[in-house]
Structure 1
């Protein structure tokens, strides 16, 4: 593999991955990883076959990152994998964000606290609702509450990615879906070196 294309739903995920996390996780990420954003999940689904069939360099691999929201995780993944097979790319790696990007932030409350200048916020990670952030169906509302309670302005996805992302530490993140995503990227990066 000499190129990785990650298809995401929205700009905030693109910012977090392309500008912040991937360069810290993977050597020369900006030279061989492309993060393609879409205008929400409907646009992403519509574009999957188009993107996978497009002309890419020989050896390009694909990853799709899709929010679970209220869908059943296994069924959603099966639907996305079927789209990949139909497009002739059955090896595409599909990762489901449980439930949404904000769950990943809540998985690292210390990073959220640092972004807000509220170091003590990290101590709330021991609270039951934050122990398994992927179970929170209202992660975005939780982020909005935290930003209203502790920040000078409300939570916005793009500025949230820019503020929280630099403080995120994959090793301490409690979001299982975040960890599965990280393992997938690291495995693909290892393929590149072989």
Structure 2
């Protein structure tokens, strides 16, 4: 078992598809990644504590990723998930990240990446007024619906996430929740690389 293991506890399969394609672009190759997608947010909320508590690798680091969806305050949601990490005894080795409001927010923050990944035209067809709402996509009410409409149905959650991840600009800060996700992964990567071999 590789001691340098980064475990992702995810709301659904589309988040795993995103990370599987995204992580090889920047994560140190000596780190083993394990993806544990749940069957939606209720399943994650219900089973998270147990999965953390009984995970076999004592050196593993964990990142929990969940959509905010209609939850009123992402900070409250993060605190609730964090409490489960504390109860499981994994607070020191875990980061919790919330996609505000959905995973698709990350993609709407980088429309040129969506165009390249899905071979479609979006930016040139948007009137200037419509473009402005994508400057702060974390504030959008239903990013998945917006993305589906913009791509005229070309975006499908799992395959679209995988394809768009290969094109996303990692330095793009239009979605603070995407930047926070990357920062959390990099913090855990540093901790794992500091472990004695």
Fold-level similarity (TM above 0.5): yes
Q: Which runs of 4+ in 1 moved over 4 A?
A: none
SS at match of 1:63: strand
Q: Which has the higher helix share?
A: 1
Q: 1:11 aligns with which of 10, 13, 16?
A: 13
Q: Tell whether the 8 Å contact from 2:68 to 2:74 is kept in structure 1 after alignment.
A: yes
In the alignment, structure 1 residue 84 sits paired with structure 2 residue 85: yes
SS in 2 for 1:172: coil
What secondary structure, in the 3-state scheme, does the structure 2 residue paired with 1:4 have? strand
Q: Contact 1:62–1:93 (CA<8 Å) still a contact in 2?
A: yes
Q: For 1:109-188, what aligned pairs fall within 5 Å after superposition?
A: 109-118=111-120, 121=123, 127-148=131-152, 153-188=153-188
- May I ask how many residue pairs the two structures share in their alignment? 188
**Higher relative contact order at CA 8 Å, sep ≥6: structure 1 or structure 2?**
2
Question: TM-score, structure 1 length as denominator?
Answer: 0.89
3-state DSSP class of the match of 2:166? helix
d(CA) in 1 for partners of 2:79, 2:186: 23
CA displacement at 1:123 relative to structure 2:
8.6
Question: What runs of 5+ residues in structure 1 fail to find an aligned partner?
Answer: none
- In the alignment, structure 2 segments of 5+ residues that lack a partner are none
1:191–1:123 CA distance, 2 compared to 1 (3 A):
farther
SS in 1 for 2:171: helix
Contact residue 10 and residue 38 of structure 1 kept, 8 A? yes
Q: 1:122 to 1:176 in 2, by over 3 A?
A: farther
Q: TM (normalized to structure 2)?
A: 0.87
**Inter-CA distance 103–56: structure 2 relative to 1 (3 Å threshold):** same
Please give the per-residue CA displacement for 1:85-108, whole angstroms capped at 9, x wherever unaligned. Answer: 111122221101100111011011
* CA positional deviation for 1:146: 1.0
Aligned to 1:68: 68
